[in-house]
Amino acid sequence: METYTKIAENIIAGISNNETIADLLLKAKIYASLKKDKKMLSWIQGELEGYENKPPEYRILDCAVKVKVFKPFVGEFNIYFPVEVINDERVRNRIVKMPIHASITEVEDLSKQPNSILLNLSFGLAKYFSPFLGGDFQGAYQEVSPSALKKIIILVKDILLSYFLKVAEGEDIDFTAMTKTKFDGDMKITNSKVIVSGNDTHITNSVVNSENVKVNEDNLEKLKAILSELESHVLKSNNEEGLAAIEEVKQELNSEKPSKNKLQLLWRGLGSVLTGTLSGVSVSLISKGLTLIGLL
């Protein structure tokens, strides 16, 4: 029992000293091996080596959907797609969820990338997107910010800390029972590979429960400024539908408790409404706005 307590105290000290997550998990593996805790060993192996099947719930991330479109005389451009227009609920739920199967070390490296993380949606989606594009469908991607991956690191550390604090206090607890709410999930997606390409990081074949997160107050003014600049460009085009979509975003931004998820949906919808009428500057503003919302 004294050995278990010492290992627990060593892991707690390691978390306090900001040791790498891989080192912490290796220490936890020693403890789990001594205890012959197969469930804990299985979890540690999944974190260290990556998950071939269903990842834990905390590895399922909320994501935006980006579509590449080709339009004659305009060329190729990307838009954020409002997935709520897709009638097939199964498809809709699948494409807004990004499971992260990579090892915790890869997750940590990806979280340090300066750009968004993109996942190629490789299965047949053209029939779901094409009717709303006003151009030729060229491909689709899921997108999350690096900060979303940092939450995985934080949660793994939290699981270790919560568990080993109890062990250090002499409690004999069941690892799976304590972490059950963080492990539950019902996705089964194929394993993922990570590819860094150009200005974005791509994850091939790899999915997150939505949470109604409020927008960070410090960034509201920046978002309002972007919307105001975008509105000035749309006014020049006399796009009434676009102006109506902008007004919806304004109302949410000026509400008492702006919702991050609602803003994401409204902003993607705005990009869809303005497809084909946007200048290069406006496309950049749409992208900046959604990126800002995603980082809040």
Report pTM: 0.59
Q: 96: which 2 tokens?
A: 């807004």
CA quadruple 134, 136, 140, 143: dihedral positive or negative? negative
Token match 């940590």: residue?
108
**If we measure between CA atoms, which residue out of 122, 139, 113, 133 comes closest to residue 207?**
122
**C-alpha to C-alpha distance for 79 and 232, rounded to whole angstroms:** 20
Output the CA torsion 272→275→280→286 (10° steps).
Answer: -10
Token match 């999350």: residue?
144
**If we measure between CA atoms, which residue out of 279, 285, 148 comes closest to residue 224?**
285
Q: What is the pLDDT of residues 73-83, one digit of tens each?
A: 878 888 888 88
Token match 């990570």: residue?
194
Half-sphere exposure of 262 (CA within 13 A, CB side): 15
**At CA 102, angle to CA 43 and CA 295, rounded to 5?**
110
In tens digits, the chain (296 residues) has pLDDT values of 567 888 888 888 888 888 899 999 999 999 999 989 899 999 999 999 999 888 998 899 989 898 888 988 878 888 888 888 888 888 888 888 888 999 999 999 998 888 888 888 866 788 888 888 878 888 898 998 888 888 899 889 988 888 888 888 777 777 776 666 555 543 332 333 333 333 344 443 332 233 334 456 667 888 888 889 888 888 887 778 788 888 888 988 888 888 776 787 778 777 766 655 555 556 667 777 776 776 55
Output the CA torsion 255→92→131→236 (10° steps).
Answer: 20
